[in-house]
Amino acid sequence: MRRHRNVKIVATLGPASSSKEMIKALFEAGADVFRLNMSHGNHDDHRARYDTIRAIEEETGRPIAILADLQGPKLRVGAFAEGAHDLEEGMRFRFDLDEAPGDQNRVQLPHPEIFQALEPGSELLVNDGKIRLRVDECGSDFANCTVTVGGTISDRKGVNVPDVVLPLAALSEKDRADLEFACQLGVDWLALSFVQRAEDVEEAKKLAKGRAAVLSKIEKPAAVRAFDEILEASDGIMVARGDLGVELPVHSVPPIQKRLVRKCRAAAKPVIVATQMLESMIESPMPTRAEVSDVANAIYEGTDAVMLSAESAAGSYPVEAVTTMDNVARSVEADQNYRNIIDASRHAELHSVADAIVTAAREIAETTDVAAICAFSQSGKTIRLIARERPRVPIIALSPLEGVVRRMVLTWGTHCVITPQLSRFKEAVVNATRAARDFGFADETRQVVVVAGVPFNVPGTTNIVRIAPCDERLIYASDPE
């Protein structure tokens, strides 16, 4: 099985998509990566879904990536004596640490870290930004505010603090337990919520100990400001537009998205665009035209992946949502404007032999009649460098390391294949051409570009590019060694 598109689709699993039949249907419809949302369900639920995905992987013979999304610290108000109160513009309202039930004048905010960071003039957002309050005066255990945008406040509503860096760790105790569980389970990627600084990422990577790659969710203004450092520390990025659109003016999110996607591509690190991409398909079998344009826009920008959240986890039409994304991706990638945009946004990054090799491979593929670029990698870096080039031909990513192959599934344009352990370049050529034929990329009359490194099985040695025929008789005739 091969995909006839380059962008990848991430589908979140949940109550609507827990059975083997449904997960397999999502995979067959086009899902490449499955997301386990650690904010919902328990470890037994996630273990069952993980085991189902791996069983489907075994049946289909195609590597599948699994992403565990950590919840992160949740900031919420306390409870109200009467359940809810209406706050009107201009009203005074107080947040404090008092555990007494709230009323129309105050409520508990059980997060002393917030009070430590607040200053007069700071803004507090409640219930996804539907209610906005300006801090007039504050101390170590209170904040007296003025309501600037009114609404109904009720029990346990979420709180956002957009304009300060909070002295909160990105990993709560629950996250630490979930991280260890996910790593022991064998997930390929960890998504880290509430990232504010590079140190948050470094802490998660220290705990992961290389068992899973760490992807940072950009959902805080502080993360946007520190993005270059966070990108350098991360293995990948998710542009999580939900909280980002709450904490920043909503009109600022599209240019931020474009900027972050381009920076990820320049750094050769995969990026996912997420949140509300096909939101109406939670309840409708058809998306809105605006949603289709949103998905298409992310693909035109060159994102590695687009993601479904509630659409596939809890919606009524999960398979239709994946099919819609697949159809949009195919349509966009068939458009000549897409290729023009992708080519125009390519920036030469020639700092190493590997950079030069992958650039040469892409140029050879685009100026000769080759069917694919076949690349071997011990760490996945060579594959990411090739994907950064966004070549016009498919990328066949090969490695003997199962974990590396699965992580590469998230990368743009890759068809991932597990190979035997190889020791000679000719073995690599033979395995590459067989993969090209077996998966329908070429027949025996075509050629492929092969990229590898000698000595074999040593990360960071990419130093060979070769054009090879897909007819093994010609391989042996031209290279008797």
- Active-site residue identified among 20, 76, 330, 346: 76
Report residue 368 as tokens: 């000769």
What are residue 212's phi and psi, to 5 degrees? -150, 150
Identify whether 35 is a catalytic site residue: yes
Report residue 430 as tokens: 């033979």
Identify whether 275 is a catalytic site residue: yes
- Active-site residue identified among 12, 52, 275, 433: 275
Q: Facing residues of 308 across strands? A: 11
- Active-site residue identified among 5, 35, 106, 407: 35
Identify whether 217 is a catalytic site residue: yes
What are residue 374's phi and psi, to 5 degrees? -105, 120
**Cβ atoms within 10 Å, residue 51:** 12
| Burial of 113 (C-beta count, 10 Å sphere; 0-12/13-18/19+) | middle
| Contact by Cβ (8 Å): 191, 238 | yes
DSSP 41: S
Give, rounded to a whole angstrom, the gap between the first and last alpha carbons of the chain: 33
Measure the CA–CA gap between 241 and 229, rounded to whole angstroms: 20
| Residue that is written with structure tokens 């002393």 in the block | 112
Identify whether 197 is a catalytic site residue: no
| Contact by Cβ (8 Å): 98, 114 | no
Sequence-ordered list of residues with C-beta below 8 angstroms from that of 44, at least 6 positions apart, any chain: none
- Active-site residue identified among 3, 94, 106, 217: 217
**Cβ atoms within 10 Å, residue 286:** 13
Q: How many residues does the chain have?
A: 481
Half-sphere exposure (CA, 13 Å, Cβ side) for 451? 34
Residues taking part in catalysis:
35, 76, 217, 275
